[in-house]
Structures are given as structure tokens and as C-alpha cells.
Chain A
Amino acid sequence: MLLREVEYARPASVAEALAILKQHDGARALAGGQTLINVMKARVASPDVLVDLNGLDDLKGIELGSDGTLTIGAMATYTDIAGSAEARARPILGEVCLTIADVQVRNRGTIGGNVCSNDPTNHLPPLLCAVGAEMTIASEDGERTVAAAEFFLGVYLTAVGPGELLTKLTIPAGKHDGFAAVTLGADGTCIANAAASLNGSLRVALGCVDAVPIVVQPASAAEDAVREAVRGAGLMPPSDVHASSEYRIHLAEVLAVRAARQAAERS
């Protein structure tokens, strides 16, 4: 399909990208394009200027600190993360990345694009809430960090505002994580999903049940405690052709139990 006319820039530095984003109201970052190109085809988004981040090696690094903190550049692709020895410090990340869509989408789609698009069915928003990631957001005025739980604001809406870029995600050390999903076919779109992290206390994040991931903190990883915590969240998920609201509530509970069990059993 022919897209609406658009201008294109391929900045050579983050500073240059931020300058272009600030100067042009209708400018938008282009990461993997695996969501943005589609919404442009559908004319749901019509940016005037595409700021292609693919030339910015500064945004592609994956680093493991001496204390186990993992720093992942926003432009790291799912394939990069799944293949990275450093990212294996938090094995759940690569494991979940390998279940997103297919080889082609994984080769282009980025962790930054996944969270910035915040499609409620995406895999990574709940996962990053569960593991307690921090997002670093840059603009010409400087840098700020936002905890994952405060990063997601609504459907396709995040803490990244006009003139800003997500530059990296910081993930604390930890191994006891789990993820469970019911999908449309193998590696398909999630009908419901849940991510759990048991590093200290248990945190479970539920996806596909609201505009943003719903985080609950069960008293323990025991099945009853997890079920009770999910019930206490008062979920009111949408109904669609794949699942009624009631069925999604049921799935959220079951998947939370599975994710918590995986987190508890992982050594």
C-alpha cells in the first residue's frame, strides 16, 4: 500500500534525533516499524516526519553490570535479546522474546517499540512490570527515569511525551520469573497473559485485561494466595471475538497461577 506522503530522517546521534523530534510537531520515532508501518497503512497514524532510530548504535547495547543489573537499549530487537549472553542473566526476557510472532517480526521488532506502542495484547509490558524495569526517557532538556508500573498510561499511550525518546530499560538482578499466556495459535497474539517475578516478594502483572498491565502482589506464590490477589483486583476486561470478559477474568487467574508457579520453581 502507498503510505501518505511523509518525510524521512535517519539521524546519526540521539541528540540529533531529539532535535528533529522537538522541531517538528508531527515527527515520530520509527523503531522496528512492525506496528508503526501498519498503523500508517491504515491511516490511524499519519506522521509528517519519520525519525528512523535504526542508525543509532547507542540505543542497541545490552549490558550486564557487576551487580547483575541489566541495561537494554530501546533499539535492541527481540532477536538481539534472545541471542544475548548478557540478557541470559534474566532468562525470562529471551524466552518470552522468542515467542513473539515469527522470525521476521523478531528480527525487526524492538523492546522499545514494544513498550512504547503499549498495545494491551503485547507480551513485554506486563513482563517488564513484573520484573520491575525502569525506563529512561530522554529529551533535549535532559533525562528522567520512570518505573514500569508508572510508564504505561493507556492504550498506545505511555510516559514518553512529544519530543522525547525512550533510550534504555534497566532491569534489576533476579532469576525467579515466570510468564504464561493463552494465544491465538503457537506464538500468536495473546488473549490473556501474566508475568510473575518472585525476587523478594511476589509481583504478578496481568496483560490483555485492561488498557495497561494490572499489577498485583499476592501474599505468597501459593495457588490460593495468587487467585485471591487476582480476584481482589476487580478486573473488568473487554469482550471481543476471542474471549468474553468473564472468560478473560478466568484466564487471568489461571495464568497468574501458572506464571507464579514457574517463578517459584525456577532455580
Chain B
Amino acid sequence: MSAIASSKAVTVTVNGVEYEREVEARKLLIHFVRDDLDLTGSHIGCDTGNCGACSMIVDGQLVKSCMLLAVQADGASIETVEGLAEDGELTALQQSFSDHHALQCGYCTPGMLMSATALLRTNPNPTDEQIKKALQGNICRCTGYWNIFEAVKAVGS
């Protein structure tokens, strides 16, 4: 019989670093990563699963981390925006966001980058439609969608 408990020891690997923490079952993954692991790159926009600012890649799958409990991620390998650049070197996608002025206030950017990263991994040459569909779950309150689209397209082609 598996244990029924209000908190649990959770081990996760985030951007290649392993963490072990005791976590309350009621804690959302986004709060665990931001507050307990102090990785504040991922943002909370809506807290209702609508905006995508909290998007992370968990075991290879893009998810909204405000819609997942931290205890559900036990054993998982998680990628957040902090893991994209290596040794301070931006990824081609990040550089393209900069070149295309694809961020204004920057609040949506971590989620946009994770969604676009997930897309380009499985589909390195997406069509315009595929790019739009891949970013469907990410809202930009500054409404800079066109430049974001152009930035992704430039890396894809």
C-alpha cells in the first residue's frame, strides 16, 4: 500500500542539478521551484492554467507548472528557463528573441522560450501554423506576438 500523506520527500533534477526536499502535497510545482529552490525565472501570471508564464519541460513534456503538484514531480527531470543558456552563452532561440525585440516587459518570456524550445526540439523546421499552434498556450500581455513569432521562425528556418 502506498503511503497517504500530507507531505512527502521529493527528489527532482532541475537543469541537471539534483534537489531533495520535504514538500507539502498542497504545494504547486511553480511555488516549489520558485520559493523552495529559488529558481525564479519561471513566472506566475494567471495561476489558472491560461497564460503559460509558468511553462516548464518535465520529463521531456511541456507543462504549465501551476497545474501540477510538486509531489507529482518526484523523480522527474525538469527544465526551466535558467537551464537554457550554457556558461552564459545564450541559445540561438534566446539570441533570436533579443535580435527580434521579442520581449517588452519580459514577463511572458520564460514561458515563451520553453514552449518554443519544446517545439524546435521535435520540429526543427516548423511551418508558420505550427509555430502559432505551439505558442497557443502562452499569453503576452504586452501583445508582442508578432516579434515573438518572427524570433522563433528565424531560428526554425
Point out residues on A near B: beta carbons under 8 Å: 1-12, 16, 19-20, 24, 30, 33-34, 37-38, 41, 49-50, 52, 54, 79, 101-105, 107-108, 186-187
Contact = CB atoms under 8 A, between A and B. Distances in A.
Interface stretch (B47-55, B100-108, B147-155): B47-55
Nearest to A51: B4
Given A1-B28, A4-B26, A33-B67, 13 more contacts: A1-B47, A5-B6, A9-B2, A19-B1, A24-B4, A34-B49, A37-B67, A38-B49, A49-B4, A102-B137, A103-B137, A104-B49, A104-B55
A107 B90 CA distance: 27
B5 interface: yes
B136 interface: yes
Q: How large is the interface on B (under 10, 10 to 19, 20 to 34, 35 or more residues)?
A: 35 or more
Contacts of B62: 103-104, 107
7 contacts: A4-B26, A8-B4, A8-B5, A37-B28, A103-B118, A104-B55, A104-B115
A10 B5 CA distance: 10
Contacts of A6: 6, 25-26
Contacts of A4: 26
B47 A9 contact: no
A102 B52 contact: yes
A78 to B, nearest CB: 12
B98 to A, nearest CB: 24
Contacts of B25: 6-8, 50
Residue from B4, B5, B62, B133 whose CB has the most chain A CB atoms within 10 Å: B4
B3 interface: yes
B64 A52 contact: no
Contact of B69 (A8, A24, A101, A105): A8
B71 interface: yes
A140 to B, nearest CB: 14
Please provide the 4 A-B residue pairs with the shortest distance between their CB atoms, ordered closest to farther: A102-B137, A8-B25, A3-B26, A102-B136
Contacts of A11: 2
A3 B64 CA distance: 16
B47 A41 contact: yes
B6 A8 contact: yes
Nearest to A34: B67
B112 to A, nearest CB: 12
B143 interface: no
Given A107-B61, A108-B63, A12 B2 contact: yes
Contacts of B48: 38, 41
Nearest to B4: A9
Contacts of B6: 5-8
B12 interface: no
